[in-house]
Structure 1
Amino acid sequence: MKKVPYRNRISKVLGVSLIIFLLFSISLYSQEEAVAENAEVATEEGAADTSAGDPAKGKSLFNQNCAACHALNRKMTGPALANVESRLAEEEGLDKEWLYAWIKNSPGMIKSGDAYSVKIYNEYNQAAMTAFPTLSNQDIDDILAYTAAPPPAAAPSVAATATDSAGSSKSSGISNEILLGALAVVFGLLVLMLFLVNSTLKRIAEANGVVLEKERAEKRTPIWKAFAQNQFLVLVTVIFLLLGSAYFAYGWMMQVGVDQGYAPIQPIHYSHKIHAGDNKIECKYCHSSARVSKHSGIPSLNVCMNCHKSIYEYKGNPEGPTQEDLANGYTNEFYTGEIKKLYKAVGWDEENQKYTGESQPVEWVRIHNLPDFAYFNHSQHVSVAGIECQTCHGPVEEMEIMYQYSPLTMGWCVECHRETNVKVEGNEYYAKIHAELSKKYGVDQLTAAQMGGLECGKCHY
């Protein structure tokens, strides 16, 4: 029996493939074990408790009552509160009873002439802290426990990452690069094996006298020459191309001036998803002129500072960022950086909590822009007609980057006037005209079109 040398080569390749695959499996398993151990350690370390109060409850109370004026590690309207109990005890000799009295009735402490109370009052522009008589001693203990707790380290986030996707896959802690590398190696070895098998089979066929003949292509008429010789087919094709070109040219020209989907990048990133969606801020709080003016208006920066004077960093959605947000770079650090841009533009000194007077204009990019010959009044639609902002602007509360949702074409506006009933209840402006036109048209509800909403002079004058 003849020796078949290729068997040894294929066996070797298979053996090496299995060994490499096993090594990768062992390394990946060891990484899973390491991540699991780190998660357990982080959980045990994060389970530390304080005897004076509950930091978890204290955090909730702090956010409800204190966060508007205080932060843990920086000066705001009031002083930083990290380790405030221990600092006051060491530096001023004040005990917890003093803190109870100060938090519950700070104006009374100032009037009584307490030395440290008067010092704080004078240091912070003689603005007395709001009294919180409804907070119990246990509530204050919880808040102090939160202020004394160390800031969250990286270990809890590792634990959260390891346990968050445990139900879906145990390999969440494994690097994607390692998995892709392992698959690439295995795929490469399979390709090499197929190449060896193919070349070996060819050699066996040649050794046994089998001749591999290549198929000879018959001479045929080129397809382009056959097409040119068929005059009917050429005529049909030319007509089809002319009609298709006219159709696409008409469609392209009809889109001139239509900016549906336009989403420019603004100099300061503003997330409607966070403000209007997560925080439920009403549209007309920022765009207040939409109630009384033709234009909705661009909010001035002082409107932003009504909140961001105290909100100096973005701490994220309680549910955590989505994979899409992370892929687009929308992290807590990114949003905090945009707040710093706002401070620079408005001239706000974070350290001293005051305006410097050195402001810079923000060159916002306009998104919705009607032609000059088209008249549109926001107050007529918002205040009189009672139309919601989302009717024209779409689900603004879901938009990370604001974009033009509707086409804002003449046909789109006309269709809306034909379908929308006029809001008459509690609207004396339309009471008389509605009564007369209802008899004329024989209907109970009038549309905007039936009340003259299709007259050319309504929008073009």
Structure 2
Amino acid sequence: MVLGTQVFAAHPDVPDDESAISAGKALFNSNCRTCHKLDQRATGPALRGVTERRSLEWAGKFIKNSQALIASGDAQAVAIYEEWNKLAMPSHEFLSDDDVMNLLAYIEYGDKAEAQVAGGDGEGSGGGGGGSGVPSEYLTIILAVLVIVLLLILIVLGLIISVLTKYLNSQNLEEDDKEFVNQKFDLGKILKSDAFVIIVTALVIALVAKTAIDGLYSVGIQQGYAPKQPIAFSHALHAGQYEIECQYCHTGVEIGKSANIPSANICMNCHTHIQNVGGKDGISPEIQKIYDAYDNNRPIEWVRVHNLPDLSYFNHAQHVAVGGIECQTCHGPIEEMEVVYQHSSLTMGWCIDCHRQTDIKSNGNAYYDKLVQLHSESKGSLKVKDIGGLECAKCHY
């Protein structure tokens, strides 16, 4: 498999038939596309060629439970974890061995047309960013290439001068000409020359421009933001260990635009009985804060983590109830977070990319039946972009 100048040789045991690739694509879109692309960095590394870089056994273990592999001290898993800012991939233990092979089939052989024009950046490509625009790494590479080209030009010019000097000295030159040809190198004149000043100025301007562009691309992006909350609430405990559904606390997620931050009343549904011995009157200090808020009829002042700009419209019900999108698609492995942080970039490019790739879940929804039939006759699967998902007014009123 050839991608630009890179050649990937998929493991021979990975199936390459269309049925396996198609099944793998469905699994990839459901579980992986939020953080990964086949041939480009996103929130996680590019995946194409993973069966050449890693063994099938290791890849299967990492896909099913990367945290367990990291906790075991596996050198490769720990290296990836450290390289990607300690963002752990959610577990996929529900996948069977056949599911994993189908997923690897799509990763290695899927979307070949896109692979021909995409860069194959793998785990060793540096930290990722899943937003839009020109990645800062590319600008750094461009500047480095320009500096290298400049040095090569100077070396070539030095060689040419040396050769010409030897040639001219072999000729019968007059004394004035010989003195001119053999004049000594004067660093001071070079440093004061117009050409040197122009080159240095151009490099400084390029570095300043790169810094400014990096800053502009980071404006409004709070990926990784994890503020301290007034109560040390653990999603890993509630959503992870006790498997409490997100919808129980975030009551508006299926019926309205906002997911709703739970009130103290909702907390008290459980914590009237669950107190955790060890604090005032046998109640833990953190749970006592809930009691105080409830008794004084005042809200808990939670600090907002995910905050879209006012010019953007996002409806939770449209995505969760109608689209069938899992909370983890946007919020990451929330069931593993002791302290909630913003997992995704939530940039416009990130949203648009999702709309371009996500298939409409039309099963059991008669509203889409005719639309899916008409669309499939000409274009194949129906995606969000085909029903207005890329229209400006869809998100910008």
TM-score normalized by the length of structure 2: 0.49
State which structure, 1 or 2, has the greater radius of gyration over its C-alpha atoms.
1
